[in-house]
Structure 1
Amino acid sequence: MKVPLRSWEPHAAAKRASTLAKIPPEWRLDPAQIEEAKRQRDITGPFIQRFLYPSETAIVTRDAVDLTNAVREGQLTAIQVTAAFCKTAAISHQINNCLLEIFFDQALERAQYLDEYFAEHGKTVGPLHGLPVSLKDQFHVKGVDTTMGYVGWIGSNLGITDPRDVHQVESQITSELLAAGAVLFCKTSVPQTLFFAETKNNIIGYTLNPQNRNLSCGGSSGGEGALQALGGSVLGLGTDIGGSVRIPAAFNGIFGLKPTPERLSYRNAANTNPGQNTYPSAVGLLSPTLGGLELGLRSILSTKPWTRDPAVAPIPFRQDELSAYRERADENGKARDSHTPLKLGVLWTDNTVGPHPPIIRGLHQVVNTLKAAGHKVVNWEPPSHAAARRIHLAFLKADGAHDIHSHLDLSGEPLIPDLREVLKLRQPYDLLDIQDMTIQGLEYEAAYSDYWNSTANDDGQIVDAVIMPAAPHAAVIPGKYYSTSYTSVLNLLNYSVAVIPVTKADKTVDVVDDSYEPLNEIDRKNWDAYDPEIYDGAPVGVQLVGRKFEEEKILGIAGVVMAALKTNCGV
């Protein structure tokens, strides 16, 4: 007996079909090619590049800095670059559904305009001139849907139903990217509600990890991470309220930056429970290269976003801060004799959920490399991360999921099964409870700051940054992500954090430690989920943590760490 469709399902099916219909016929794969992709463990690199011409591969394998330089110097046109990335994104979506919105025609028109401007004026529009930039589907582009994974937002944005307002909103940061010369071409998939560390919604389903399709691409900026791993973008926007930039960066073997929330503008962007601003979401950046993060942050800040968004701190890009930390090491990451070496803390475990063997090996690789390069590394034993996670989670759930259910009610779609219990409708917290939690959060921030300052007691040098896992596992088996405590604590602290790729899980090295004693029941579930065969080849990334508004500092330190890893490990 055929099960009748629920009222929201035809709308989701129609949206899927309309998105695919926006792909030019010459870029569409046939069913046999799509089935072949489903049989592959790794669809990145050589696999996806078989669908590209060599000239297109030559473009999409260059980094953001190279591409903007090539366009500025007249070696490539904006049209050439945009067409190559649009095609790669189109193929990426067909073999690993990662896009919620496609607007290639609009992008190519924009690229044509930029080429004409360059030809007429002999100069670029801005530092991102001709560079395609992808957007997590929270950022509004005029004329384009913003569904944020909700069926009820299809054909609109922000759930707007008044025809006069539909598709008229533009996020401030979208305008800033355009002012810097960027070409916007697609929006990437997110989990329904955003409050999920995997990427799954009722519109396009689940987005897998393209480097190991047994695993998740992470969330909530997971479609962005997957697209970049496939070569479909070299710079993209994400957001992060509990790890949503950092988790996809680590899971997909790319770089991510979660700034302090007030560094980049959230004005006129969609969000879950936007009234909760005690611990707000931060706009962040993802890129296959560290240079891409630097270029993106520098370019956006060059537009002075604080003049239009009063929530943004008036801090321009501080090149001197970045350079001061990078210059403490040579081009190989080795500490300079004439400078103080870096002093880094390392958090081996948060004592809530212990890391799997690939993560432990990745941490040792970073620590051993830095020590060999002459830098100091000390153990990091801060106030309990479990306490911070409890406070942070309470704020995310404080409205009783009423905002989420108001958007579900637009179409009648249900919560995805993974979220039905944790996000079921509840009574909101009362004001006195929220005030009490706020005090607890402030006390935790003060205690963490005091601990950080105490690291100068032994040798007079305070820790510059902290190395810690982004998750207790590499890119996770779907449905087995049990704790985000390694990332959410840093949202409560509003710290500046970069993620760097380190290595990949290796079944021949990262064997099960039979002597491990789980810390609690959640830790036992996480440990039991580790299977060396399934995880083999999964990217391993780590977080580099600075304090508030230390984005340039943490990028400078990341440059030193990556130089040392490249010299010693070939990363």
Structure 2
Amino acid sequence: MTTTSWEARAAEKRAATLAKIRPEWRLSPDDMERARKQRDLTGPFIQSFLLADEVSIISKDSVDIVDAIKEGKLTAVQVTIAFCKTAAIAHQINNCLHEIFFDQALELAQSLDTYYADKKTTLGPLHGLPISLKDQFHVKGVDTTMGYVGWIGSNLGIKDPSQAHLVESEITRELLALGAVLYCKTSLPQTLLFGETKNNIIGQTLNPRNQNLSCGGSSGGEGALQALRGSTLGVGTDIGGSVRIPAAFNGIFALKPTPERLPYRDAANTNPGQNTYRSTVGFLSTSLAGLDLILRSALSTQPWLADPAVAPIPFRQEVVDRQLARAGADGSAQPSESPLKLGVLWNDGVVTPHPPVTRGIRMLVDAVTQAGHKTVLWDPPPQATAKRVHVAFLKADGAHDISHQLELSGEPLISDLRDTFQLRPPMDLLEYQGLTLQGLEYESAYSDYWNSTAADDGQVVDAVIMPVAPHAAVIPGRFYHTAYTEAINLLNYSAAVIPVTKADKTTDIPDPSFRPLGPEDKVNWEAYDAEIYDGGPVGLQIVARKFEEEKVLAVAKIVYAALQASKAKVGVV
């Protein structure tokens, strides 16, 4: 326990963060009041605080930005200023940042412009591109709190106080070597193990597209910042849905790789000794091309040489080419190639998706079918089994790691987590080993099921379309069922998220004849309110097997192109 109360330390941290925003970027009390009353903070609202050239820059996606810098149409400093300013405004109206280091970013951007002027070339494939980081990744000279009050003033917790602010995560080193400009770290929930974003330092981050709803978690600040165009590309992590949920809830894209594909070395984590089902580094972006750019860039550094936990698998362009050859630019199946065969999981048999999600699945199925691809019903081994086993591992240490971090300041668990992470004896070793075997048995059964899909036509399913959650961006406090994402973590599969639609109060009317599958289904269904959910983003995940990141991105590109073509036919935005 420190002599300063945890409340005072948290308040000082909040004030220090806001003080790092340039005076000319600070909003007036009247502006803040307008923001509080605004349902949707994105698009025209946040753009009203920006200059025309700044709006032009932040409206570009990642690839367009790096191309413009490479062609000399934009400088790294111009781009960095635009995104720093937007991120500053985003934080003031949406509470989505933990750390601000804009001055450090601008110094780096200036050095990149000097390099470009001298060498007449860029430093790397990410030259000048601002990239945001979830507050698990260490940047020299910058705090990493990971949502814990007791970590304020360090970027290492208590692991080695003498190294405070000197530690750098491996992914951070790689991004800087590739020419990226790091400028802020985004909000996350206390413990990380929560599908919303809330902690005792900054409070809660809501959904900027509909402030009645949650931005998701645990990479929730990343999702919110990108929805506000304060970033086009960010780094998050995923152990139970933590990049996929914020992407789906904020109307952006995400990639969850297999854990051993990207380096986690020297990143902060909750209960880091639990590596049976490991957290994975993942990416969120305003475009699929952004996900492709950062994955191929990160793998070009051969991260397995620096992080021995990473599998030595370089980016496989031939996999991308082979998949993309199966469809045209509009996603339509090519006559000379086999069409995609996609499984469709409508319902996991435990919790029924709300009307907006079911409509989103139907839209995607209709789009790919009209484009000439195959869809089949996906009925795998019960995902409830996967959730049960996975949750047991997340709680296996009896919340001792979480409790230890809370004791550093004396802060309590946030109210949402008090029942879940009360301190208790850790799991017995024999029980732990027994659960490991159950997990392996589930993986085998799921793999056997996947292989069996070739029985009817000789073609195995390429990927599976399924919900990310049983609702659109959720009402805070009403995220009751996480099996749709957790099952994929237990399997260590690759997954991408694409935005599909938004909840519509006039269209997404609940079926009065609905009969719940059980108590969990009942409480989730009763939480649906068409008026509150109106405008909430609906994203879906596309799932492939282990180490199929290139494949899942290519399939996602085809499916998303087919969706856009289908929307264009009927005049839907």
TM-score under structure 1 normalisation?
Answer: 0.99
Are 2:156 and 2:165, in contact at CA under 8 Å, matched by a contact in 1? no
> Offset of 1:522 from its aligned partner?
1.1
Q: Partner of 2:263: helix, strand, or coil?
A: coil
> After TM superposition, where is structure 1 displaced by more than 4 Å over at least 4 residues in a row?
none
**Whole-angstrom CA distance in 1 between matches of 2:431 and 2:157:** 30
CA contact (8 A) 2:240 2:489 kept: yes
How many Å separate the matches in 1 of 2:481 and 2:488? Answer: 14
Q: Does 1:290 align with 2:288?
A: yes
Where 2:508 maps in the other structure, the secondary structure is coil
2:75 to 62, 74, 77: 77
2:167 is matched with which residue: 166, 169, 182?
169
- What residue in structure 2 maps to residue 48 of structure 1? 46
Answer yes or no: is the 8 Å Cα contact 2:254–2:284 preserved in 1: yes
Return the alpha-carbon distance in structure 2 between the equivalents of residues 258 and 323 of structure 1: 20
Q: 1:339 maps to what in 2?
A: 337
- For the 8 Å contact 2:156–2:163, the answer to whether it is kept is no
Per-residue deviation at 1:428? 0.3
Letter in 1 for 2:104: Q
| Correspondence for 1:517 among 506, 512, 515 | 515
Correspondence for 2:194: 196
Q: Residue 251 of structure 1: SS of its match in structure 2?
A: helix
Q: Distance in 1 between matches of 2:29 and 2:158?
A: 36
Cα distance in 2 for residues equivalent to 1:506 and 1:319: 39
Q: Superposition pairs for residues 181-192 of structure 1, below 5 Å?
A: 181-192=179-190
Q: Distance in 2 between matches of 1:202 and 1:318?
A: 43
Find the residue that maps to 1:135 and give its secondary structure.
Answer: strand
Contact conserved, 2:98 with 2:202, CA < 8 A, in 1? yes
What is the deviation of 1:163?
A: 5.0
**What is the Cα deviation at residue 520 of structure 1?**
1.0
SS at match of 2:397: coil
2: distance between equivalents of 1:122 and 1:192?
A: 45
Distance 1:46 1:439, change over 3 A: same
Counterpart-to-counterpart distance in 2, 1:122 and 1:75: 13
Deviation at 1:164, TM superposition (A): 2.7
Answer yes or no: is 1:109 the counterpart of 2:107: yes
- Work out the CA distance in 2 between the residues paired with 1:533 and 1:95: 23
Q: Deviations over 1:149-201 (max 9, x none)?
A: 00000000231386531101100000000010000000000000001000000
**Among candidates 316, 319, 324, match of residue 318 of structure 1:** 316
Residue aligning to 2:401: 403
The share of aligned pairs that are identical, in percent, is 69
Q: Which whole-Å CA distance do the structure 2 matches of 1:350 and 1:472 have between them?
A: 9
Cα separation, 2, equivalents of 1:161 and 1:485: 33
Moved more, 137-146 or 155-164: 155-164
Residue number among 543, 546, 568 corresponding to 2:544 in the alignment: 546
Aligned residue number for residue 90 of structure 1 = 88
Q: Aligned residue for 1:498?
A: 496
Name the CA shift for 1:285/1:162 in 2 (closer, same or farther; >3 Å).
Answer: closer
Q: Structure 2: which 5+ runs fail to align?
A: none
Measured in 2, the distance between the counterparts of 1:324 and 1:362 equals: 28
Q: Deviations over 1:335-377 (max 9, x none)?
A: 0000000000000000111100000000000001111111000
Contact 2:443/2:491 (8 A) holds in 1? yes
Please name the residue that 1:466 is paired with. Answer: 464
Mapping 1:281-430, distance limit 5 Å: 281-430=279-428
Letter in 1 for 2:496: A
- Structure 2 CA distance, aligned partners of 1:161 and 1:316? 32
Report the equivalent of 1:153.
151
The residue correspondences of 1:140-289 to structure 2 (distance < 5 A) are 140-160=138-158, 164-289=162-287
Amino acid at match of 1:87: K
1:7 matched residue in structure 2 = 5
Corresponding letter in the other structure for 1:213: Q
| Partner Cα separation in structure 1 for residue 112 and residue 418 of structure 2 | 47
* C-alpha distance in structure 2 between counterparts of 1:489 and 1:196, whole Å: 16
| Greater mean alpha carbon deviation, residues 50-59 or residues 560-569 | 560-569
Q: 2:435 aligns with which of 429, 433, 437?
A: 437
| Matching residue's letter, 2:19 | A
- CA shift, 1:322, in A, is 1.0
Return the offset for 1:221.
0.1
Counterpart of 2:36 in structure 1 is 38
Residue 567 of structure 1 is matched in structure 2 by: 565
For residue 326 of structure 1, report the CA deviation from its aligned partner.
Answer: 1.3
Moved more, 319-328 or 336-345: 319-328
In the TM superposition, residue 6 of structure 1 has moved relative to its aligned partner by: 8.4
Alpha-carbon distance in structure 2 between the residues aligned to 1:534 and 1:381: 32
TM-score in terms of structure 2 length: 0.98
Q: Which amino acid aligns with 2:420?
A: V
1:510-538 alpha-carbon deviations (Å, 9 max, x no partner): 00111111111111110000000000000
Give the SS at the match of 1:164: helix
Q: In structure 1, how many angstroms separate the alpha carbons of the residues matched to 2:251 and 2:553?
A: 17
Looking at structure 2, the residues matched to 63 and 242 of structure 1 have their Cα atoms a distance apart, in angstroms, of: 27
Give the count of matched residue pairs: 567
Corresponding residue SS for 2:128: coil
Residue aligned with 2:465, SS: strand
Amino acid at match of 2:185: K
Q: Describe the superposition over 1:404-455 as per-residue Cα deviations: whole angstroms up to 9, x where unpaired.
A: 0000000000000000001000110011000000000000000000000000
Q: Partners of 1:311 and 1:514 in 2: how far apart?
A: 51
Look up the equivalent residue of 1:296 and give its one-letter code: I
The one-letter code of the counterpart of 2:281 is V
* Structure 1 position 319, deviation (Å): 1.3
Alignment counterpart, residue 489 of structure 1, candidates 463, 487, 490: 487
Give the distance between the partners of 1:421 and 1:164, measured in 2 at CA.
35
**How far apart in 2 are the matches of 1:567 and 1:368?**
11
Query: RMSD between aligned alpha carbons?
Result: 0.9
